[in-house]
Amino acid sequence: MIPQETVNLILDTAQIADVVSDYVTLKRRGANFVACCPFHNEKTPSFYVSPSKGIYKCFGCGKAGTAVGFVMEQEHCSYVEALRYLARKYHIEIVEEEESAEEIARRQRSESLLLVSEFARKFFSEQLQGGEGRAVGYQYYRSRGIEDATIERWGLGWAPSARTGLVDAARAAGYKDEYLLGAGLAVQNEDGSLADKFRERVMFPIHSVSGRVIAFSGRTLRADNPAKYVNSPETEIYIKSRNLLGIYFAKSDIAREDRCILVEGNVDVVMMHQLGITNVVASCGTSLTVEQVRLIKKFTENITIMYDGDSAGIHAALRGIPMVLAEGMNVHVVLLPDGDDPDSFSRKHSRDEVREYIAQNEKDFIVFKTDLLLSEAAGDPLKKAGLINDIADTIAQIPDAVKRSTYAEATAQQFGIEVAILFDRINKTRRKLQEDALKAAEREERRRRNDLPPSAYDTVVSDAQPVSEPFAEQTIQEENRILAPSERDLLYFLLRHGCDELDFESDSDYYSGNEQDKPSVADFIRDAFSDGTRMANSAYAAVYDAYYALYDEGYGQQEIVKRLLDAADRRIAEVVSQLSTEKYQLTVEAFEKSMTTKASWLVAQVPRAILGYAERRMQDRYETLRRQLPDATPEQEPGILQEMVKIQSAQRRIKQRMGREKNTK
């Protein structure tokens, strides 16, 4: 068995566009890539690859999935074999082992830490609604120009001044002390008692790429507190160097615009998003790291570093450039006017003005570094030589030989030196970099042989289950054609809107009687199946069960769909690919565009879909009885006919109710 941490590493490392491009030529179209489908013959491209979602989808043949699913389809191999293929491609070592009880316990612990972190987010948000949170925290956000919608979207909150505010609330909700400590939400005093890690601070949740809360950054509002920011410590679910503040909210726009803007501060990234520039992320209280650069590269190869125009901002930008180049990315730098940061600059200007400023002032890294260092050299020949060597060492970081050559020639021309001299320096630097990398690999190998613990590792839970059977292409079989359309409709709502809330009016038959108790679409549909009913079509039943297994573990909607597309059972992936796209047409009579909002559309259509399913179940029973009638005995016939009449009457009542609900919406 492949260790779970290795599976996670493979899935996190694999880039869908990179994997697919090994087989077909991709052309960019907006945030996505298109190509002629490798799975069926076509002349007009209908095969789409979405880097932001990490999936591919063919609108011609219907095949869809993630990187591992694509390899399974293309290579006709099993799930485990696809993982091994990707591991080889990305030079990831696999040391297979049996999953031990300790590993199972660790996975369960990681999930518990994620759940208590989400509880903390809700707690901090609730604290912002009244008392000191309203008087202090909320007023701070508003004084910084942060609007209510932004506060809600980002889950901003307030940590109260009470020493055990969160601890007491979490205990009351049933969370154990060990998880509060493990998630970095509490600290243990000398007497063994617990106290809140964050107190009297405005709180910024840090989300994983899939949208789960994994950590927090808290800012004090007291001038006498030297610790302006307190961030979560590294935990089993949070490694600072591997996460970026705002990546969950920014990833789609990063891919669509094919560019990521990197800023420094928490408020910087929030305010840029509020302004409408949403391809922006920030490092989580650390200098830029290689892991963070690689995370950005999953969505784009273009990065613009946007730091303050003061000395600290300039040197921070310079520190980040080499590692960005080493990952094969294209880097630009834009410095704001001295005295401004992205927060203050965004409050002084409109979105279009900020975009225009970036476009006019961002510089290629060579131009930026040359201009900066030339001003420092001030005509000194020795300093100029040092400058040229410095730039050559920077160019040496670029892995692509063509790019290196292009930059070397441009630099040689700019400084009036022979390009061969520059190449000599570049090649020497590259040899040293390779030697350093080899030494680092040897140190890691010694560490592994001596069974020493790694400095940090990712334990984010994955549900990927390896299978031993070879892959075989499957076609969806519908055992029950009467129920199939209604079952597809219900799965559509699960796969597209399962985590959305249903906000029923107080006069609705479905109103719970409590404004705070709003069911999700997934909960509402599951309640309709609470009598033990199962979908009649095995493929649809498999998707239903797989969806709720992930839903109950707290995964967000997009992550659930991605994991289902990655399922070892390819029937699940095929059904999900068909029903989770815009192309699918509901059999219910009303469509999304006919309603004022998505919320009102869901409130109208989800109950109608459930009623429609109930009516189809009756029709299925009616057809079963009709087939039995010719072979029925004289004694059985009256009972069958009577039941058929009752079914028709019940069907009419359901259809009348569906008609009334349609006419009142």
Task: Concatenate the DSSP letters of all residues of 465-517 into one string.
Answer: ----SPP-------S-TTTHHHHHHHHHHHHHHTTSB----TTSTT--S-TT-
pLDDT number for residue 168: 96
φ, ψ at 508 (rounded to 5°): -80, 150
Q: Where residue 559 falls among pLDDT bands split at 50, 70, 90?
A: confident
pLDDT number for residue 387: 84
Query: Distances from the Cα of 359 to the Cαs of 335, 356, 615, in angstroms?
Result: 12, 5, 58
Task: Determine contact, residues 305/334, Cβ cutoff 8 Å.
Answer: yes
DSSP annotation of 106? H
pLDDT number for residue 145: 94
Please classify residue 273 by burial: count the beta carbons closer than 10 Å to its beta carbon, then call 0-12 exposed, 13-18 middle and 19+ buried.
Answer: buried
Q: Check residues 501 and 448 and name the one with the higher pLDDT.
A: 501
Query: Distances from the Cα of 128 to the Cαs of 119, 157, 204, in angstroms?
Result: 15, 5, 12
- Residue-range domain boundaries for the chain: 1-97, 101-239, 240-355, 362-455, 474-665
Interacting residues of 226 by C-beta distance below 8 A, sequence separation 6+: none
Q: 167-185 pLDDT, tens per residue?
A: 999 999 999 999 999 999 9
pLDDT at residue 583 above 70? no
Q: Where residue 590 falls among pLDDT bands split at 50, 70, 90?
A: very low
Question: Which contacts (CB < 8 Å, 24+ apart) does range 427-432 have?
Answer: 427/396, 429/392, 429/393, 429/396, 430/396
Render 298-337 in DSSP notation, one character per residue: TT-SEEEEEE-SSHHHHHHHHHHHHHHHHTT-EEEEEEPP
Matching CATH number, 101-239, of 2.30.30.30, 3.40.640.10, 3.90.980.10, 3.40.50.720: 3.90.980.10
Rounded mean pLDDT of 431-441? Answer: 80
Query: For the structural domain made of 240-355, what CATH number should be given?
Result: 3.40.1360.10
Task: Determine contact, residues 317/307, Cβ cutoff 8 Å.
Answer: yes
pLDDT number for residue 444: 66
pLDDT number for residue 480: 86
pLDDT number for residue 183: 95
* Element housing 195 (H / E): strand 194-196
pLDDT number for residue 107: 76
Task: Determine contact, residues 208/253, Cβ cutoff 8 Å.
Answer: no
Rounded mean pLDDT of 223-247? Answer: 88
Task: Determine contact, residues 267/228, Cβ cutoff 8 Å.
Answer: no
Single out the residue of 524, 521, 544, 520 nearest to residue 534, CA to CA.
544
0.75 exceeded by pTM: no
Tokens representing 490 are 């219900």
Q: How many CA atoms lie within 13 A of 405 on its CB side?
A: 3
Rounded mean pLDDT of 34-45? Answer: 85
Task: Calculate what percentage of the chain has a pLDDT beyond 70.
Answer: 87
pLDDT number for residue 349: 93
Q: 449-505 pLDDT, tens per residue?
A: 665 444 332 322 233 332 222 233 344 678 888 888 899 999 999 998 989 888 877
pLDDT at residue 262 above 90? yes
Q: What is the C-alpha to C-alpha distance for residues 60 and 44, in angstroms, rounded to an integer?
A: 10
Q: 490-544 pLDDT, tens per residue?
A: 999 999 898 988 887 777 777 666 666 788 899 889 988 888 888 988 889 999 9
| Stretch among 104-113, 405-414, 432-441 having the lowest mean pLDDT | 432-441
Render 196-234 in DSSP notation, one character per residue: ES--SEEEEEEE-TTS-EEEEEEEE--TT-S--EEEPPP
DSSP annotation of 56? E
pLDDT at residue 392 above 70? yes
* Alpha carbon 376 to its chain's center: 43
pLDDT at residue 202 above 80? yes
Strands (E), 53-111: 55-58, 64-65
Record: fold of 1-97: DNA Primase; Chain A (3.90.580)
pLDDT at residue 72 above 70? yes
